[in-house]
Amino acid sequence: MKELTHYIDGAHVKGTSGRFADVFNPATGEVQAKCPLGNNDELNKAVEAAAAAQPAWAATNPQRRARVMMKFVALLNRDMDKLAEALSAEHGKTFPDAKGDVQRGLEVVEYCIGAPELLKGEYTDSAGPGIDMYSMKQPLGVSAGITPFNFPAMIPMWMFAPALACGNAFILKPSERDPSVPLMLAELMEEAGLPKGLLQVVNGDKEAVDAILDHPVIQSVGFVGSTPIAEYIYSRGCANGKRVQCFGGAKNHMIIMPDADMDQAADALIGAGYGAAGERCMAISVAVPVGDEAADRLIEKLVPRIEKLKVGPYTAGDDVDYGPVVTGAAKEKILGLVQSGIDQGAELVVDGRDFQLQGYEDGFFVGPHLFDKVTPDMDIYKQEIFGPVLSTVRAGSYEEAIGLAMDHEMGNGTAIFTRDGDAARDFANRINIGMVGVNVPIPVPLAYHTFGGWKKSMFGDLNQHGPDAFKFYTRTKTVTSRWPSGIKEGGEFNFKAMD
């Protein structure tokens, strides 16, 4: 049995707590590795090494820090297939999807190469008589990130790349379900020239999380995961005086207007609803067709597409549409929510409950499901399923449709499919959701814009990546200076009586 490690002060370090988590092969259901669960002592060692290394890194000019990011990008491209292979083996997502996971993280690293420009301050000369003022963006010191299983490459890079580019040290606590890629990323960062001790990986569960939240040296914490844990981390971290950004769950609606290209809308829903087995915080899990005629046409288009989906392990080739979910517990939760939808009166149009993959009967595969006539009081509507389950909620009008999305407690992403520019513009302006797609099903912003939801999908003031990341990982210091006059006239050679 492979035993994984922490990565502390530039070296792989065996766990000392005596506690481990199973790392599964989701396709077979077999345990393929043991992940050490860190304790307070291990975190303290990581923080101590990070705090010792950070001042010299902060004093390194931003251009030199950016050169490390440039080399890191080259190494990510070099090892893309190797990283994707390790990611697929532990997470279960398809090989092309795993490469996309790495690529979207890489793009944020590319943005961080612009650190010299992004860290420039402001200057005002002659703010008063002989007075100049200027501001500096300075690193926080030691930052930390707690990242989820569903994007084990992308989200760690969304956090540690801008944190390091700003001159901080970083403690990463990745998901214990698929920890190998974060460890590989730490190695690649040091190969790129990052001094030892600046990027630490401490694996763990709640004990490690609480140690991060309570540690007085750690100045900021980023988190991505479920809403209840996001609320917990935000409240405890803020109570300890830390800067905290937490991104929680989602229930993303896609509005389909009667004038939409129904083939385009159906194709979009297939990718956005079932890609990565639905284990995405930006997955579309609720389709909202406007009017029964549009709903009937949409269902008619969706059913044959769903029935043709190819579900299998990543080793089965690039034409696999999605793989298993991450654990057996995740599978049971999904199927439990499917049953609740049936019990509460939703119409199960495509039933994937009996899905079995020959040769992989013990794997965590979940067949695709499609519900129609879902209502807002049902659990499958209220809860984030995080599986290959698409719910259709029929709306009688555009106002009813937009109201569904606006009234839901989560507000991560949403989309509208229409040919009407006025409807699209009104939707984008009025919707109380952080990321909006117009004929785009998964509106994840590119690296130079920011990523973040509203309502109970996000806790904090600043979003991930883009300009907000450089605000989150720095403090602004403003200097007001005045120099005494007369020095520039030079010295006096005549003896002068004291005034």
Q: Catalytic residue positions?
A: 281
245: part of which helix (H) or strand (E)? Answer: strand 243-247
The CA distance from 240 to 447, in Å, is: 30
Q: Tokens for 53?
A: 């290394």
For the stretch 127-149, what's the b/e string if a residue is b when 16 or more beta carbons lie within 10 angstroms of its beta carbon?
A: eeeeeeeeeebbbbbbbbbbbbb
Asked if 180 contacts 33 with a C-beta cutoff of 8 angstroms, the reply is yes
Whats the size of the chain, residue-wise? 499
**Contacting residues for 118 by C-beta, under 8 A, at least 6 apart:** 165, 467, 470
Distances 62 to 50, 51, 139, 215 between C-alpha atoms, Å: 19, 19, 11, 27
Instruction: Match 């390194």 to its residue by tokens.
Output: 60
76: part of which helix (H) or strand (E)? Answer: helix 62-78
Distances 74 to 7, 290, 429, 435 between C-alpha atoms, Å: 22, 47, 40, 30
Q: What is the CA radius of gyration of the chain?
A: 26
The CA distance from 368 to 234, in Å, is: 34
Q: Tokens for 345?
A: 């009166």
